[in-house]
Homo-oligomer: A and B are copies of this chain.
């Protein structure tokens, strides 16, 4: 490959260094300006893939930083046993609670769904009040909120009152406006293309 060699290469390199320098300065300025050091609330929402898996990636990263972590899965599907199998390997570092067994359309029982969601929220609320947890993942909490199984006010109050350095990640489609307002970082996962819709069987380790 001849890129970077010859007269044109030298000009390109100089131009490249100049642009890179400007970009670096911009980023350095932003980092310097960002001085509020506290826990953040991250919300992953939208109809696309990656909301939960991004939360689990942040969990892995947090464990890598030596954080004490808690996970509450508000929906136990017939799927998604992979994360559970994996993160249950670290019981001292990660308190992994699957609560939403009765809480999916598979059950077809609204009363039971509400009871399951309330029980899950009870566990979540204790984690959010406990300074021993540096990181709390509330997987699919948004579903329980949009279905009105759990009151948004209750959740916002618990987030506001949590320990200062605690990070919280909330996932699920249809994040309510009030939660988006309260969050620090909100990402919408948007479907561009979906293998499942195209007729490829849901895949262990990827889709599941």
Tell me the bound Cα distance from A63 to B111 in angstroms. 36
Q: Does A207 contact B (CB under 8 A)?
A: yes
Tell me the bound Cα distance from A59 to B59 in angstroms. 12
Q: In the assembled complex, how far is the CB of residue A197 from the closest CB belonging to chain B, in whole angstroms?
A: 8
Q: Within A79-119, which residues are at the interface with B (CB < 8 Å)?
A: 80-87, 105-111, 114, 118
Q: Chain A at the B interface: mostly helix, strand, loop or mixed? A: mixed
Contact of A200 among B1, B36, B207 (CB under 8 A): B36
Tell me the bound Cα distance from A84 to B55 in angstroms. 16
CB contacts (< 8 Å) of A17 on chain B: these are: 108-110
CB contacts (< 8 Å) of A8 on chain B: these are: none
Q: Hey, what's the 0/1 contact readout for A158-186 against B, CB within 8 Å counting as 1? A: 00000000010100000000001001111
Tell me the bound Cα distance from A36 to B30 in angstroms. 47
Number of interface residues of A (CB under 8 A): 95
30 cross-chain CB contacts under 8 A: A3-B110, A9-B111, A13-B109, A13-B110, A33-B199, A34-B200, A37-B203, A40-B200, A40-B207, A42-B195, A42-B206, A44-B50, A50-B54, A50-B57, A53-B55, A53-B58, A56-B57, A57-B60, A58-B205, A60-B82, A61-B82, A61-B208, A62-B206, A63-B82, A135-B205, A180-B192, A180-B193, A185-B194, A185-B196, A189-B189
